[in-house]
Amino acid sequence: MSSDIHSGLLFRSLYEPSAAFKELASAEVEVPSVFFKFSLWLVLLPPIFSLIGAANFGWRIGAEEPLMLDDQSLVLVSVGYFLVLIFGLFSTALISSWMASTYGASASLGKHLALITIVGAPLAIASIAHLFPDVLINVLVLIPTMIWSMYLLYKGIPVVLDTPPERGMLMASSLVGWLLVAAVSLLGISMGLWTAGVGPLLGV
């Protein structure tokens, strides 16, 4: 058994996910090493892309004129985006390891964090679409990517966490339930913040 994960693992997970999952399954992984080697850099991508895109072009949300935010709002939104992603990553990994005993899966938090990082990696990379801050372009790029990420989740859980595929399917579905709730919470929290005056200026 190798003591740590190989630094090329994340890259391989993008084009050879099955092999990457097998490698991860046989590795001993620690939370700090996964986080600082992989997760942190990926989580930084979406806020940086959106900061650059929104500062230069403004969000096009369907109207003729793009929505330009002032610098202070932009930084606030980008930092918020980063913190939300960090929260999403760790909460999903924690929930996943909490669920593990129900589904007879491995409970090593490092493995869960690594798995969630691999599952989220395509989305983090596809967030390059934020450089073109047009809601429609982002929807068109991110929906197929999200479907690919869901496929990785269903495929990865039984291999990485060493549980039968059927039990893995149930666990993946439970996690999808959590992720859907998290996504809609993010929408709700954003609405609440906008209404309270953070971000775009609304007439409320």
Partner 1 sequence: MDSTSQNTYHDTVVIRLIQFSVFWAVAAMLAGVWLSAELVWPTIDFGQSWLSFGRLRPLHTNGIVFGFGVSALMATAFYSVQRTSHTPLFLPKLAWFICYAWQVLVLLGGLSLLAGYTTAKEYAELEWPFDIAITILWVCFALVFFGTIANRKIKPIYISNWFYGALIIVIAMLHIVNNLAIPVSLGKSYSLYAGAQDALVQWWYGHNAVGFLLTGGFLGMLYYFLPKHAERPIWSYRLSIVAFWAFVYSYIWAGPHHLHYNSIPEWVQSLGMAMSIILLAPSWATMINGIMTVSTAWEKLRTDPALKFIVLSLAFYGLATFEGPMMSIRSVNVVSHFTDWTIGHVHSGALGWNAMITYGTFYFMVPRLVGRELYSTRLANIHFWLALAGTMLYIMAMWAAGVSQGLLWLSVDQIGELSFSFKDIMASMTPYYLLRLVAGIIFLSGTVLMGYNLLMTLKGQHAVKVNVPAVDPAYGVTA
167 near partner 1 (CB under 8 A): yes
Q: Which stretch binds partner 1 (CB under 8 A): 5-13, 49-57, 70-78, 161-169?
A: 161-169
Residue-wise burial string across 138-152, b where 16 or more C-beta atoms lie within 10 A, e elsewhere: beebbeebeebbeeb
19 near partner 1 (CB under 8 A): no
Residue type, 18: S
64 near partner 1 (CB under 8 A): yes
107 near partner 1 (CB under 8 A): no
90 in Cβ contact with 110 (< 8 Å): no
Which positions ≥6 away from 25 have C-beta within 8 Å?
111, 159, 160, 161, 162
Which residue is listed with tokens 């949300």?
61
- Closest separation between CB of residue 159 and partner 1, Å? 16
Applying CB under 8 A, which residues contact partner 1?
61-65, 67, 102-103, 135-136, 139, 143, 146-147, 150, 164, 166-167, 169-170, 173-174, 176-177, 180-181, 184-185, 187-188, 190-192, 194-196, 200-204
